[in-house]
Copies of this chain bind each other. A is one copy, B any other.
Amino acid sequence: MTSIPSAGDPVGASLRAAVFASGGGSNLQCLLDVERSAPDETPWRIVLVVSDRESAGALGRAAEAGVTTRVIPVSRRDPTEVADETVDVLTDAAVDVVFLAGYLRLVPAPVVARWRRRILNVHPALLPSFGGKGMWGRHVHEAVLASGARVTGPTVHFVDEEYDEGTILAQWPVPVKAGDTPDLLAKRVLEAEHRLYPAAAAHLCRALLAGRTPSPLDAPGPHFGASALPLDPAMP
């Protein structure tokens, strides 16, 4: 992590990022798209994509974008070996920050320790609700619908040694609507994820580049507080 410029560095400085993904990688694509469309304003460069699965669609997206890929299998392996390999791979690529994008494994503790508060994950519900082991993808939205919750939305949080338990950096409320199915809800939340995750990632990188601890992001908007509540008690 010697590549982090000091606070005096010129505008346009960026950190070297790895993305970890187990699946299709739509959040990887979103981060790549943001970087490609506005490189001067994007304070990261994705230099590596890591997956635990050779078949992960994310690897194809990475290859297409010209980003180095690496498969680090996890199943039926000695955890220490996985941890050592992961630390080595990230160190060799001089990675400053890690963005999880649908990565379904725990990040090995030595990686968390070495990149502490430099690893982000996005989760498709408002943690601490609907998080933890087994709570991923469709399972999350099914649980939200089963609970009757009327508000959900993505959470971006720092990664620690447990699933979905690190400090929250950003959240975005998304309504659950009458007639929602898990698929409809997943689509609505994913739209918000694809805006929130790059914003939170940029916020973290800018703070690190400036030598600051990143403050949590406020959920946005004057449209959002009590002032927007309708006065009519018959609402909505």
Contacts and interface: CB of A to CB of B under 8 A. Distances in A.
Interface of A: 34, 38, 41-42, 126-130, 147-151, 153, 157, 167-178, 188, 191-192, 195-196, 198-199, 202, 215-221, 223-226, 228-236
Contacts of A42: 233
A188 B226 contact: yes
B149 A202 contact: no
Contacts of A151: 126, 151, 153, 171-173, 219
A149 B168 contact: yes
Given A151-B126, A188-B225, A234-B41, A218 B177 contact: yes
Contact of A195 (B128, B191, B229): B229
Contacts of A178: 215-216, 218
A151 B234 CA distance: 24
Nearest to A224: B175
A150 B236 contact: no
Contacts of A235: 195, 199, 220
B41 A175 contact: no
Given A126-B126, A225-B188, A169 B195 contact: no
Contacts of A170: 150
B218 A175 contact: yes
A40 B220 CA distance: 37
Nearest to A30: B233
A178 B169 CA distance: 11
Given A202-B234, A224-B224, A127 B150 contact: no
A219 B168 contact: no
Nearest to A148: B168
A188 B225 CA distance: 8
Contacts of A176: 216, 218-219
